[in-house]
Amino acid sequence: MDTANVAEIAEMAALGVVYGVTTNPSLIAKSGRTQAEVIPEICSLVDGPVSAEVISTDCEGMVAEARRLMKISDKVVVKIPCISEGLKAVKILAKEGIKTNVSPFIGRLDDIGENGVALVENMVKVFRQYNLDTQIIAASIRNMEHVEKVMLAGADIATIPTKVLKEMLLHPLTDKGLAQFLEDYKNSLK
C-alpha cells in the first residue's frame, strides 16, 4: 500500500491483501503525525518491507537519516529521491546492506503526457536482459488498469493507494449475485 494512514493499513492487512507499505513526506504530513511515530506502527502491521523516505537532499544527510531509520525495524527500506546526491547515498547504503527504494512514479509520468506503464515494461526488459539484482517497484499507481498492466509487464511490486486497492475488492456482479443467493434462500424458507 502507498499510504501512511495506519487505520487504512490495519483494515487492509486484516484482509491479507497487503504485504508491504511505502510512504513519502507528503503522505506522512497527511497522517497528521511524525515519521518517528508512524513508521514503527506500520512495521507492526505488515510482514513485508516498509519504505520511509529521507528528507535531506544531500548525500551525507540522506545516509545519516537512513542509518537512523534502519534502527526502527529490519523491515525498513529507505526511500531515496532519484537525484545525483541520492544515487551517491544509495551506493554507500548498498555497501552497508541497507535496502533502498528509488521507484518510478508512473501516474506522475502519465500526468505530463508520458507513458508510465511503458517505462515499467522497458525497465523489466532491460533489468532482466542485464540480469540486474534490483527489484522493480511500480509507484504512483492511479487506477486498476495501472495495477494490471505493471503486473503483466513483470514488475516485482506495485505500491497501491488505498482508494485503488478498495476498488479492486469490488465487483457489481459479486454484490448482485450475493443479494440474489440470499433472497432465494430466504424465499425457500417461506
Which amino acids are annotated catalytic?
79
**Which amino acid appears at position 67 of this protein?**
R
End-to-end CA distance of the chain: 46
Near ligand G3P by CB under 6 A: residue from 140, 149, 150, 153: 140
Near ligand G3P by CB under 6 A: residue from 12, 116, 159, 164: 159
C-alpha cell at 141: 499507481
Q: Which residue in 34, 32, 25 sits closest to 52, CA to CA? A: 25
Near ligand G3P by CB under 6 A: residue from 40, 61, 81, 107: 107
Subset of residues 76 to 105 that bind ligand G3P, contact rule: CB under 6 A: 105
Minimum CB distance to ligand G3P smaller for 108 or for 128: 108
Near ligand G3P by CB under 6 A: residue from 1, 3, 12, 22: 22
Minimum CB distance to ligand G3P smaller for 96 or for 156: 156
C-alpha distances in angstroms, 32 versus 5, 27, 36, 131? 9, 9, 12, 41
With binding defined as CB under 6 A, does residue 3 bind ligand G3P? no
* Coil/strand/helix, residue 117: helix
Contact criterion met (CB below 8 Å) for 25 and 43: no
Minimum CB distance to ligand G3P smaller for 35 or for 140: 140
